Structure 1
């Protein structure tokens, strides 16, 4: 399965709308973690079906290479566009923040760097970039994951492209639970120099 396929978009939709996730509002702590980063008007790169767009500030935009995922996000009222639509129409330095949640692990290191460089031109000087990648159990849960990416890997990526990273952290539980809890994540906030 490719992350560009209609099947992948449908997989995301089914995972997001399962009854117990809606009843328990399991995204609440993750949304809290995202909001507390203070990203401002955000470009959500690899937005999928838009689960994070629900809590990002007004004016935020999701972009994804999967047109089916973008269609689902739009049907839920989110501002989402395909990569081709976005790259051909958006002025540089127009966003306060960039979100890459569950994106970098889907590609090799060179492709991840290339993707980040491609979208950094849309980030204002002094803007923030927030990364989220799954830990071991979450990484193993998706056959489209290509490269296990740790917080230290994210720090290295940031330094390579000229971002100033903070200290990576494990969320929502300590790092040792990443091998058993599917939703434990590596998180890193970085800043573009002003």
Structure 2
């Protein structure tokens, strides 16, 4: 189906706490196809902001784009949620128009929110005001300054056909706010680095993590939709084959981040990737690999096969061996962290202790309501046996809490030994 979707925002009823809310719906689709989805969002979403949008809303929005297949999306409001959905629409290659913002809508933004807004504006095709579609010049004339620089015609006349393949999974089935939170701790691996390359950076979530930690980073990504999404957050992303890019840029960076990429490769390509990562690093540079842990039950059963491009699991020992061959020394292995222990579990219940037949004295004590020592000893042995079973069961059960990801950090040697 071709045509356009018009996205509007209407005011919702106030909640008990008095906080204002508004709902989002989209309509105006040709052939009387209508979509109406209501979500309660707090008032902070009325202005540009630096937070990934609510996952349920985004999943619903991307699902609607998949069903309706429009060529154009027109946002009749200028707000934080409109910019978030516009970023997704632009990444998918759709023609995007935003309502002309009020003169004070872009004032007083923090640096990250301003960067995100500028990234979206660099991909928008025009503005809407008074029911009319305006050319980009109207935005430049009204705001000027950094917004005039952010606004560009790049891509307006060179728009790709809308993409609705693997990209729909990447944007509509992955919670970016959760992915961001999961990767926050990885930034510390690159402390002191001046130039980090995110290999297969996807939608740029870790580029955002590094940027907010003051670390300069560039991404390389083959998929044009994912690359555009990252660019719409203001990140520098080179659209190219990641391994070929590494091979073409030896000794070009002091940090390489390779997250959830190696499991997309067969073994020959995986070794080529590790060799290329080593070559791209300067001596003393850091390489961090993050990938699904094959020893994680949750990863095996719940996560790995959701991604249609996954090829196989890689064990950290295999990755470490290949890295060692190509001049990378292991510094950190998440599998060796404390609290992670492989515990054997008996396939049979331990034999229950057999109580001795009570003698005359024991029978007399029992009639008096006094437990004899032999009976207490038997109960203690049974309790100890059951406690041992519970301890084993608890230890085995903790394997469900192991992290889904394996994390390895390597240091580039000054010379191969």
TM-score (ref. length: structure 1): 0.78
| 7 and 180 in structure 1: CA distance in 2 versus 1, 3 angstrom threshold | farther
- Do the aligned residues in 2 keep the contact of 1:178 with 1:184 (CA within 8 Å)? no
Structure 2 residue 76 is the aligned partner of structure 1 residue 76? no
Q: How does 1:23-102 map to 2 (within 5 A)?
A: 25=178, 27-32=180-185, 34-38=186-190, 40=193, 41-56=195-210, 57-83=214-240, 87=245, 91-102=249-260
| Residues 21-41 of structure 1: CA deviation (Å, up to 9, x unaligned) | 64xx56324311x11212522
Q: CA RMSD in A?
A: 3.1
Distance of 2:402 and 2:171 partners within structure 1? 18
* 1:130 corresponding residue in structure 2: 288
Deviation digits for residues 133-158 of structure 1 (CA, Å, limit 9, x no counterpart): 11324323323211211211221121
Distance across 2 between alignment mates of 1:183 and 1:141: 17
Instruction: Give structure 1 regions of 4+ aligned residues with deviation exceeding 4 angstroms.
Output: 173-183
- Mapped contact 1:139–1:145 kept (Cα < 8 A): yes
Counterparts of 2:288 and 2:201, CA distance in 1? 13
What secondary structure sits across from 1:166 in the alignment? strand
Q: Normalised by the size of structure 2, how large is the TM-score?
A: 0.39
CA deviation after TM superposition for structure 1 residue 71, in Å = 1.4
Taking structure 1 as reference, are residues 75 and 179 closer, same or farther at Cα in structure 2, changes over 3 Å only? farther
**Which position in structure 2 is the counterpart of 1:7?**
165
Shift of 1:10: 2.9
Change (3 A) 1:6 1:157: farther
Equivalent in the alignment of 1:158: 323
Greater Cα radius of gyration, structure 1 or 2? 2
Q: Which moved more, 1:38-47 or 1:94-103?
A: 38-47
Kept after mapping to 2: 8 A contact 1:53/1:61: yes
**Which of 1 and 2 has higher RCO (CA within 8 Å, sep 6+)?**
1
Asked if structure 2 preserves the Cα contact closer than 8 Å seen for 1:113 and 1:161, the reply is: no
Gap regions ≥5 residues in structure 1: none
